[in-house]
């Protein structure tokens, strides 16, 4: 008997994890009819922690290292992986997850933020493997092709989401550093031959410290280094504060401390420390005694002063500082959570997209919308947001009913441009010079640094860049759409990239194609001009910018980035299918636990599954898989046309109800198809059972709402309890389980 086709389905965190408990049984039931095995693999934050700390666990507690296993699989032609959004953990989230696992009886060590000995240093380095964007670089052995499926785009046009109103006199602006940032200090080199490199710190006092030991480099690889000077950053924050105060608007910070897990918490801490400069000076000794680190924000500060003799006094001084300073934008006005509470609360790609969609507004402490000075310190990406804001002030908000679309081809294979998610970012504890050199000591780059400065280095291998250019040309040809490479000729790294793009474009016949290289501010202006005319434009971008663009444009077009189709054609022939962004996942799981209502929309998952089945059909010559894929395409169209995504209020259809309707429409389409009589006969009674029991099933699903849910944990929920909470309709379960 032939071996079954396999699709790996990742188990992740928060709302996507909850949704999987409801949707995966449907997927498994339908796909087994085509001899497809769905293989679940746990790459959740808790799962990754347990996999990395086996030596601390009892034998019956040990788990496989699913992420490492999938990393290997991604390099093979047989890979077919459906990847749901996962937590890119900040240190506070990591601490919470460890504490929860310890309560479950796992004897894990605490995370030592400041190691006191070699053992703690080892523990910290092991936890570093699960911090930040630890999953994506391992799985992404290909470049990214993200676009809004036609059905989703058409739905958005006929059911436009709310857009804020932009006025020409909006005071909202992006504030960025003018010097001393990563952009201004960047140096970049393209290697002619393969080699090894190391990173060393040479102190002005004559000391030498190895920051990273010898590691390989490939011929044609681009490497670069840059430094953010902490004193220049603090001067910039003080200027932005004065600007916001003068303009009488909010002050906000927009970083990505989850992905840029080393650099951005430090930048966040510098913002917090500068804003509350007098408080940190006045209580210097108390804060030292309580081990208060501004990088962890106000939330941790308030936790640590709780019960201290000076708690009331410190809180009063913090309140007074906010009263006298520029008002701080809020994350949650009702709970008093500011933009400076937790670094991972504000993710720049989601927060700036929401700001631009909302007419340039953020929320103040009174839960009213106001303009803001949005601090994005580093110029690498600040400028294109300012270009978007300038366009909105001049031309008004975009109209989802008529606007064009912006698909993205993103460079990310083999950890290309993984700023901050890797082992090449360091904060320096003394004045000196950081040097990147080869095994023989020949220097590639050197950077002067001062105490507290942040050094980072990144790599982009040649083969992924070639693949990226090929993918961009193919997408431009297939869709007959202009493709714009967003590259800045004023930036060292991008100048090296431009040389490669110009070289590799010559390998293709681009006659009749509109393919251009533009700097990112001009690319934004050009793309928005076309959007307003209803025209599509492919953005071709590097890795970090890909992250930002694939949130910004979908949020403006569709109201969410979770409905994008995200395909990663893996370089060795396999496929990775991503199911949208997870930015709203924490809010949704909190609502579910409190009141049994899950607003998470699984449409991205439906789209990814359809693409995964299609890929499997083509690569494994599985005719039934293609029938499943075609029927799911029909079901997705009907799902959108009938508006069966989760509604906005309790007592209406939620995530579980949306899964029921998708399953019913999928069964109907399978019963109606004429390519395989056996499958049609198999699914006809399934479709009929769902149709005749629709009212009963809806009643059972909605009846499970309006009460708190006990799933046994946030990061490490109990599987049986979660199944019970997410599959509350015995009628539907009997139909699905009976297939």
For residue 190, give every residue at least 6 positions away whose Cβ sits within 8 Å of its Cβ, in sequence order, or none.
220, 221, 222, 496, 499, 500
Q: Is 540 exposed, middle or buried (0-12, 13-18, 19+ CB in 10 A)?
A: buried
Contact 214, 410 (CB under 8 A): no
The residues, any chain, with a CB within 8 Å of residue 242's CB and separated by 6 or more, are none
For 643-689, the three-class secondary structure string (H helix, E strand, C coil) is CCCCCCCCCCCCHHHHHHHHHHHHHHHHHHCCCCHHHHHHHHHHHHH
How, if at all, do strands 337-338 and 362-363 pair?
Answer: unpaired
Ligand-binding site membership of 507 (annotated): no
110 is in an annotated binding site: no
Compute φ and ψ for 196, nearest 5 degrees: -125, 155
Report the alpha-carbon distance of residue 516 to residue 298 in Å, rounded. Answer: 45
- Span between the terminal Cα atoms of the chain, in Å: 22
Helix (H, G, I), strand (E, B) or coil at 82: strand
Tokens of 587: 């809010």
Q: What Å distances lie between residue 583 and 68, 358, 562, 580, CA to CA?
A: 25, 17, 9, 9
Residue pointed to by tokens 């709780």: 306
| Annotated binding-site residue? 13 | no
* Residues whose CB is less than 8 angstroms from the CB of residue 228 and which lie 6 or more positions away in sequence, other chains included: 180, 181, 182, 185, 263, 267, 377, 378, 453, 454
Which tokens sit at 314? Answer: 């410190």
Q: Report the alpha-carbon distance of residue 586 to residue 332 in Å, rounded.
A: 13
As beta bridge partners, residue 458 has: 224
449 is in an annotated binding site: no
Among residues 390, 184, 345, 360, the alpha carbon closest in space to that of 253 is found at: 345
Under a CB-based contact definition with an 8 Å cutoff, are residues 233 and 453 in contact? Answer: no
349 belongs to an annotated ligand binding site: yes
601 labelled binding-site residue: yes
Query: Is residue 363 part of an annotated ligand binding site?
Result: no
**588 annotated as a binding-site residue:** yes
Is 137 annotated as ligand-binding?
Answer: yes
Q: Is 63 annotated to bind ligand?
A: no
346 is in an annotated binding site: no
Residue 644 and residue 659: Cα distance in Å, rounded? 9
| 84 known member of a binding site | yes
Report the sign of the C-alpha dihedral through residues 663, 664, 669, 670, in that order: positive
Is 666 marked as binding a ligand?
A: no
Please indicate if the annotation marks 584 as binding a ligand.
Answer: yes
CB 181 within 8 A of CB 379: yes
CB 241 within 8 A of CB 274: yes
Is 599 annotated in some ligand binding site?
A: yes
Is 62 annotated in some ligand binding site? no
583 is in an annotated binding site: yes
Residue 88, annotated as binding a ligand: yes
Q: Work out whether strand 144-147 and strand 565-569 pair parallel, antiparallel, or are unpaired.
A: antiparallel
Sequence-ordered alpha helix ranges (H) in 250-371? 263-275, 277-282, 284-289, 297-305, 311-324, 348-357
> Apex CA 86: angle with CA 631 and CA 348, to 5°?
110
Which phi and psi (to 5°) does residue 203 adopt? -75, 150
Helices 655-672 and 14-31, interaxial angle, to 10°? 20
Rg (CA), the chain: 26
Q: Is 146 annotated as a binding residue?
A: yes
Rounded-to-10 torsion of CA 512, 517, 520, 521: -70
The answer to whether 514 is a known ligand-binding residue is: no
Question: Both tokens of residue 217?
Answer: 């480099």
469 is in an annotated binding site: no
The answer for residues whose C-beta is within 8 angstroms of residue 17's C-beta and 6 or more apart is 11, 44, 84, 589, 717, 722
User: Would you say 729 is a known binding-site residue?
Assistant: no
Residues forming the annotated binding site for Mg(2+)?
Answer: 349, 547, 551
Residues forming the annotated binding site for substrate?
Answer: 133-140
Residues forming the annotated binding site for D-threo-isocitrate?
Answer: 146, 546
Residues forming the annotated binding site for NADP(+)?
Answer: 83-88, 136, 583-584, 588, 599-601, 648
Residues forming the annotated binding site?
Answer: 83-88, 133-140, 146, 349, 546-547, 551, 583-584, 588, 599-601, 648
């Amino acid at each position: 008997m032939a071996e079954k086709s396999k699709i790996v389905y990742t188990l992740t965190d928060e709302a996507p994890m909850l949704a999987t408990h409801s949707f995966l049984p449907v997927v498994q039931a339908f796909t087994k009819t085509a001899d497809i095995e769905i293989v679940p693999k746990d790459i959740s934050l808790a799962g990754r922690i347990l996999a990395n700390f086996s030596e601390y666990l009892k034998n019956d507690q040990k788990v496989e290292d699913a992420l490492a296993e999938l990393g290997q699989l991604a390099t093979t032609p047989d890979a077919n992986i459906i990847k749901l959004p996962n937590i890119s953990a900040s240190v506070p989230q990591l601490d919470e997850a460890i504490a929860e696992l310890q309560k479950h009886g796992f004897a894990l060590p605490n995370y030592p933020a400041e190691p006191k000995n070699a053992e703690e240093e080892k523990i910290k380095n092991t936890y570093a493997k699960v911090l930040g964007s630890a999953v994506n670089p391992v799985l992404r052995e290909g470049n990214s092709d993200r676009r809004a499926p036609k059905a989703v785009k058409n739905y958005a046009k006929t059911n436009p989401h709310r857009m804020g109103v932009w006025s020409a006199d909006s005071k909202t602006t992006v504030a960025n550093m003018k010097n001393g940032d990563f952009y201004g200090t960047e140096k970049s080199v393209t290697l002619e031959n393969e080699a090894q490199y190391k990173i060393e710190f040479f102190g002005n006092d004559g000391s030498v410290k190895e920051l990273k030991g010898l590691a390989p480099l490939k011929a044609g690889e681009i490497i670069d280094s840059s430094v953010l000077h902490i004193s220049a950053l603090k001067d910039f924050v003080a200027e932005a504060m004065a600007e916001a105060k003068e303009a009488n608007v909010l002050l906000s910070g927009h970083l990505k401390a989850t992905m840029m897990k080393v650099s951005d918490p430090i930048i966040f801490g510098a913002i917090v420390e500068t804003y509350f400069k007098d408080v940190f000076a006045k209580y210097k000794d108390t804060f030292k005694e309580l081990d208060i680190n501004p990088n962890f924000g106000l939330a941790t500060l308030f936790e640590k002063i709780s019960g201290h003799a000076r708690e009331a006094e410190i809180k009063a001084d913090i309140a007074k500082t906010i009263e006298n300073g520029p008002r701080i934008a809020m994350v949650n006005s009702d709970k008093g959570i500011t933009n400076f509470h937790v670094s991972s609360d504000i993710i720049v790609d989601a927060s700036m997209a929401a700001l631009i969609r909302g007419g340039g507004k953020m929320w103040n402490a009174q839960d009213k919308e106001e303009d803001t000075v949005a601090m994005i310190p580093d110029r690498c990406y600040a400028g294109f947001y300012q270009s978007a804001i300038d366009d909105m002030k001049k031309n008004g908000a975009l109209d989802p009913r008529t606007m064009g679309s912006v698909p993205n081809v993103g460079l990310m294979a083999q950890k290309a441009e993984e700023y901050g998610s890797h082992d090449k970012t360091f904060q320096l504890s003394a004045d000196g010079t950081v040097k990147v050199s080869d095994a023989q000591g020949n220097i590639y780059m050197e950077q002067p640094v001062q105490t507290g400065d942040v050094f980072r280095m990144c790599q982009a291998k040649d083969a992924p860049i070639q693949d990226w250019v090929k993918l961009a040309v193919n997408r431009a040809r297939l869709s007959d759409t202009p493709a714009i490479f967003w590259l800045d000729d004023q930036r060292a790294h991008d100048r090296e990239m431009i040389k490669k793009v110009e070289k590799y474009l010559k390998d293709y016949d681009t006659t009749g194609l509109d393919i251009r290289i533009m700097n990112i501010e001009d690319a934004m202006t050009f793309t928005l001009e076309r959007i307003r005319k209803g025209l599509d434009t492919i953005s071709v971008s590097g890795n970090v910018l890909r992250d930002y663009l694939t949130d910004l444009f979908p949020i403006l077009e569709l109201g969410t980035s979770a409905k994008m189709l995200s395909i990663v054609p893996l370089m060795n022939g396999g496929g990775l299918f991503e199911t949208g962004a997870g930015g709203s996942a924490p809010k949704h799981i909190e609502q579910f636990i409190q009141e049994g209502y899950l607003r998470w929309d699984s449409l991205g998952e439906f789209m990814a599954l359809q693409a995964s089945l299609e890929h499997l059909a083509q690569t494994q010559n599985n005719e039934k898989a293609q029938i499943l894929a075609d029927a799911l395409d029909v079901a997705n169209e009907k799902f959108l046309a009938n508006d069966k995504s989760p509604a906005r209020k309790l007592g209406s259809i939620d995530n579980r109800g949306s899964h029921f309707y998708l399953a019913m429409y999928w069964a109907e389409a399978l019963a109606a198809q004429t390519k395989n009589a056996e499958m049609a006969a198999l699914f006809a009674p399934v479709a009929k059972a769902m149709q005749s029991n629709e009212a009963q099933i809806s009643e059972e699903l909605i009846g499970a709402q309006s009460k708190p849910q006990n799933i046994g944990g946030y990061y490490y929920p109990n599987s049986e309890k979660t199944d019970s909470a997410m599959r509350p309709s015995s009628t539907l379960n009997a139909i699905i389980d009976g297939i």
